[in-house]
Amino acid sequence: MESSRIEQLKHRLHAFLWETPDLSALPWPRAIAVFVLRVVAVMVREFREGQLTLRAMSLVYTTLLSLVPLLALSFSVLKAFGVHNQIEPFLLQMLAPLGEKGAEITARVIDFVENVKVGVLGALGLGLLLYTVIALMQKIERAFNYTWHVQQTRPLGQRFSDYLSVLIVGPVLVFASIGFSASILNSDLMQALAEVEPFGSLLNVTTRLLPYLMIIAAFTFLYVFIPNTRVRLRSAFAGALVAGILWQTVGWAFTAFIVNATKYTAIYSAFASLIMFMIWLYLGWMILLVGASIAFYHQYPEYLLAEQRQPRLSGRLRERLALEACARVARAYHRGDAPPTATGLARALVVPRFTLQQLLDELEDAGILRRVADERVAYVPGREPGTLALADILAAVRGAGETRRPAEAPPDRRADAAADAVEQAVHAALDGRSLADLLEDQSADEGDTAGSR
């Protein structure tokens, strides 16, 4: 009896979450509730698969190796602007949940940083320092690219230019904004306004919210810049808002844990500070990756409906999707419309973009399609549609990633003959038809539909 009630409850919850794919058809309160619950369900699946935790642990290891070189590089840049003394308060704030251990770790890290003399490292030492820092940035980009289902990384030259610009300009902007905010809040005008209501209460609320706003702004910047894809600002802000709230909430909980963790200090002795620091790093990276996932699902809510992260397509469905995608690209080219993007094609074909992207890459490698880059990556036919045989499109999809048969595994003649017969039947059925024929067929269908009206 109890098990039947649980099954009924599961069925009702499943129907509430998934029976309406298009949330725009629902009233907005229910649409928001369904979207939030879908995100929670998908995030639980992400945690169960283990990729988020694995990448967070990898980033912890890389951070431990790169922390001192990163701060040394930032210290050298900030010293030229005269704001290098703000690194220590910044670290104290970031490690505040560690309590006294945070102050101890900050003092040791600052001591290490001050002992690193960038000017006397030499060419090899400076190169290793930059490599360690860039390796951390590359690891972060790969983690974000995985979240955003992006296969391509930035080219090597672009990596150095983008990463170094962030590492050089980023700290200056961050600490300049911190100093500017502090000077504004401590100015005589603000002190005078603080004595006048309701400005005093408003200023008090703003001061309390300022740490949240700074964290959210930093996370928004990371979500927009780091992934090698176009991220909408509102989606990045949605993920940063959740991540910022989680950061402060988890920070309070971790502070309470540190206060009541005296027995762990007794067990681990001198290693207690390092272990707590690693745990906090892990939680911080986990929060950052969770926010990136929420930003992704906010920008592409249709991916919440996928039953698994990488849906598997049958060979037959892959061939049909390839033909339909090529037809839509050729149709836009023939009409003189803007080249369709991968996202637009995925939405038109009702398939996840990252699944269709693999097919588009295969067609591009075979010369069937050609990628054009404007503000967004889009596709045009690789050559004139009249010269693109439909059989070649199917062959490009079927033979993608194919390797030669090992010499020690001779083919079976009868099996090979049957496979050849299938290939010949496909070519005979298509009878030399090209991609242009699909355009003519579509035009005829549209004319018949218009005539029937």
pTM above 0.85, yes or no: no
Q: How many helices (H) and strands (E) does the chain have?
A: 18, 2
- Decide which of 261, 283, 305 is a domain's last residue: 305
- Decide which of 305, 335, 368 is a domain's last residue: 305
* Residue 262, in any domain of the structure: yes
Same-domain check for residues 271 and 330: no
Same-domain check for residues 93 and 162: yes
Same-domain check for residues 184 and 195: yes
**In angstroms, how far is the first alpha carbon of the chain from the final one?**
56
pLDDT tens digits, the chain, 453 residues: what are they? 566 777 767 677 666 666 666 666 667 777 788 778 888 888 888 888 778 888 888 888 888 877 777 777 666 666 665 555 666 676 777 777 777 777 777 777 777 666 666 555 556 666 776 777 777 888 888 888 888 887 777 777 777 777 767 666 666 666 666 555 656 656 666 666 666 666 666 766 666 777 778 788 888 988 988 888 888 899 999 999 999 888 888 888 877 777 666 666 666 666 677 778 888 889 889 999 999 999 998 888 777 776 555 566 777 888 889 889 999 999 998 888 889 988 888 878 877 777 788 888 888 888 899 888 655 678 999 888 888 888 888 888 887 766 665 555 566 777 778 877 877 787 777 777 888 888 765 544 444 433 333
Same-domain check for residues 144 and 216: yes
Same-domain check for residues 35 and 54: no
CA 331 to CA 314: how far, in whole Å? Answer: 26
CA 78 to CA 168: how far, in whole Å? Answer: 9
Domain count of the fold of the chain: 3
Residue with tokens 């995985």: 146
* Residue 300, in any domain of the structure: yes
* Residue 310, in any domain of the structure: no
Same-domain check for residues 227 and 328: no
Same-domain check for residues 283 and 377: no
- Decide which of 277, 305, 333 is a domain's last residue: 305
Same-domain check for residues 229 and 169: yes
Same-domain check for residues 131 and 42: no
CA distances from 390 to 7, 322, 368, 384, 432 (A): 48, 10, 10, 13, 8
Round the CA-based radius of gyration of the chain to a whole number and report it: 28
CA 19 to CA 53: how far, in whole Å? Answer: 31
The whole domain housing 223 covers 50-305
* Residue 406, in any domain of the structure: no
SS3 of 179, please? helix
CA 285 to CA 278: how far, in whole Å? Answer: 11
Same-domain check for residues 102 and 178: yes
Same-domain check for residues 60 and 44: no
* Residue 407, in any domain of the structure: no
Where residue 432 sits, what CATH number does that domain have?
A: 1.10.10.10
Same-domain check for residues 393 and 435: yes
